[in-house]
Structure 1
């Protein structure tokens, strides 16, 4: 049912770009800075006078880095420098033994049974999102940011987005995500540690404000836990889980770091994917109509976790949005020893760039790589690529802890919204994808909303 025209993506640059032109483009948007050849290359070397990095698209190489030998390819500190003002020493940025310790405490909160426990809160957030959306011209990225933030606060701290502190965190984060890219120049330039990382003063101030608000929430929950009055939600589960090896729980400061990444990963990424999914459905109304029929038939039974097994098209549409517009477009690892990839020698300290943006649209892997086709996931090519070339949440031991959470939240909210409303594109307002903290639209995603 795919239409012949294709969803938008940034215009790739010529295959040869000078270093200084590349850096100027990079400061504007890392997606449009990339040369066109990366959509068909298995590996590309960026060997310039001041840095050396390698983008890998070959599934076997990605498996080597992320699955077979993840401890040999830790996250690059240069990437961490860009996000550390907000995320501190969160699980997203740590490596080695510290990362392993954090995952031992966090992972139990996101096991399958706990997802079922959070479902009523997700459903309530979906109902609230439907109630907030009014017919007319809407900037749906903002609506989806609101909805995803509501899900996080309800599931993590048992408070709705209307709570005063939750509202303040949400508005501060909206300001933050427009000023801080997911990668900065330090990811590609070997800057000495004494050199400034280029954080804007506004970005630093906003990060400080967000962390102060999260500290208030976390300290209050610590008091509730001590008094035996804490609700049984994700925050309580994480804050009371002891490391099975040391017996220690997270301190308040450590928990602030983790809450910051839960909010980033659970709010910012879901909002990005939901916004693009609504745009894609508006662009391809035949798919939207089929999803509305599925939602009407399924959601009428009410907030029962069993509905997730029946929202198959909602899942496939959300998955296709994650493929075309992966919220985190690039990940960077670093070699800890000399390596040899595809007969090329990689020195110690080389940057290994893994790009879901390019992998998910790779011309040698996917059928119709730039097309929107939720039906692809039932084809042999789609099933193969799902296993080997689809990594919106990363893969291997460092796969996002909340991947299962997102694959419940996204299809559920999408189904609830499409059941209630019809979304239509706006003439001459096609969104242009750019990379902020996540893949967002340069000027927002504007759609006309009508009641069904």
Structure 2
């Protein structure tokens, strides 16, 4: 049994048909041949895009020469109302300064410090789900709630039930479905001079979210000034000066960064965990293995996490099949040549974890769910060269280590207490919104063990 994926379009369709498919769903708009191609070119009247699916090219763009392939400004247009000038959108010296301040908060020792808050969120999630046992639940909503709780507890030391945290969560749920991950400008003939229109409700939700984050940030600044701030991620980031300029983030900059922490740390984790729960329902033998392994969480601690090996492999496999961010877009800062083909300055370079993780020339049985692959030579090789759920190189996700603790922990805690079962007629179809989500939700029956 293979996990579901969108049905790719035929290899040849008209531009008009492609645009209609793209607006409906980014993933199913891509042709079948992209699962075998090393590179594909998309030509429009205004610019050209190149999707690269060869590990050597991906390595060059993300790791070897990242300054020559900065983040595409076309992508930032869609997310700017919410994220401002956050580390997710900036390039050059501004981005380097932001990373110098942010990265220390997510170093190895800090993960140990955040674990108690993460565990509290996992325990709270179990209690919420216990109240739904015996019913069919929408898992993306369940995991969104849990991931948002993790973020607020580790960032601001408040649970999701906190007044402001709850408001941010509700506003973001409305924002999430309105804003696609990739602005159409990355793929279709939209000239740079054409204004980018955001729906009025999208702009309002973004403003409201930022205002609420500003309130949390201002309250934390007061606690820091009074010497009463808790030792959490927000305090660490707000009190860390850039070692080069010796300046800390000001209020506006901190609002930008908290917005991306919430977006990246909540939205992506929720997507990954929801798909993992679906895979567990689809493959109940693996669910039983993880339940048995989770008995070690009788007395959980940070060191316990290294013993959740099966859970980590299952979560890693879910990230391969359903990478939360399915495509990333860079821009050629100078003229280039890929595989003997000219790449003009300004061309859009599309890197697709969705396709790279299923590249038929690289992976054994790429569409199969097989957590044991990570112990094989093929799996180890592909993990090094063709596996980028958190991007790679200097712009690798700061919270990658955080996510690889959070995901297996939440997964193991849930499976220790509950069984997740398929619901007839409810097969999820992956589509790209802010992250890879199911078109109509992921509906599973929850049974208490």
Q: TM-score range by the shorter chain?
A: over 0.9
* Distance in 2 between residues matched to 1:243 and 1:185, nearest whole Å: 35
In structure 1, the partner of 2:11 is 15
**What's the CA shift string for 1:253-293, capped at 9, x where partnerless?**
00000000000110000000000000000000000000000
**Contact kept in structure 1, 2:45 and 2:189, CA below 8 Å:** no
Whole-angstrom distance in 2 between the partners of 1:19 and 1:110 = 44
Residue in structure 2 matched with residue 220 of structure 1 by the alignment: 219
Provide, for residues 214-263 of structure 1, a one-character-per-residue CA deviation record: whole Å limited to 9, x for no partner.
01001111111111111000000000000000100000000000000000
Instruction: Name the structure 1 match of 2:381.
Output: 384
Residue of structure 2 in register with 1:429 after alignment:
426
**Structure 1: 4+ residue segments shifted above 4 A:** none
Residues 19-418 of structure 1 correspond to what in structure 2 (within 5 A)? Answer: 19-133=15-129, 134-135=132-133, 136-189=135-188, 191-296=190-295, 298-302=296-300, 304-418=301-415
CA contact (8 A) 2:139 2:444 kept: yes
- Report deviation, 1:189: 3.9
Alignment: residue pair count: 446
Following superposition, the deviation at residue 26 of structure 1 comes to 1.1
Q: CA deviation at 1:196?
A: 2.3
Structure 1 residue runs without a partner (length 5+): none
Contact (CA 8 Å) 1:433, 1:442: kept in 2 or not?
Answer: yes
The DSSP-based 3-state class of the residue aligned with 1:178 is helix
**Alignment CA distance shift 1:227-1:190 (3 Å):** farther
Residue 340 of structure 1 and its aligned partner are, at CA, apart by: 0.5
- Using the size of structure 2 for normalisation, the TM-score is 0.98
CA shift, 1:191, in A, is 3.7
Please give the TM-score of this superposition, normalised by the length of structure 1.
Answer: 0.98
Return the alpha-carbon distance in structure 2 between the equivalents of residues 339 and 17 of structure 1: 28
CA contact (8 A) 1:19 1:48 kept: no
* 3-state SS of paired residue (1:326): coil
Structure 2, unmatched stretches of 5+, are none
CA contact (8 A) 2:83 2:259 kept: yes
How far the C-alpha of 1:119 sits from its partner, in A, is 0.2
SS at match of 2:178: coil
Aligned-partner Cα distance in 2 for 1:192–1:372: 41
| Deviation for aligned residue 1:188 | 2.1
Query: What are the superposed Cα offsets for residues 105-158 of structure 1, whole Å, 9 maximum, x if unpaired?
Result: 000000000000000000000000000012111111100000000000000000
Deviations 1:180-226 (A, max 9, x none): 01102111246444422232221111111111110100111111111
- CA-atom RMSD, angstroms? 0.9
**Equivalent residue of 1:279, what SS?**
helix
* Aligned-partner Cα distance in 2 for 1:198–1:242: 36
Aligned 8 A contact 1:6 1:372 in 2:
yes
Alignment check: 8 A CA contact 1:176 1:203 kept: yes
Q: Deviations over 1:291-318 (max 9, x none)?
A: 000001x10123x101111000110111
Counterparts in 2 of 1:49 and 1:191: CA distance versus 1, 3 Å: closer
SS of alignment partner, residue 286 of structure 1: helix
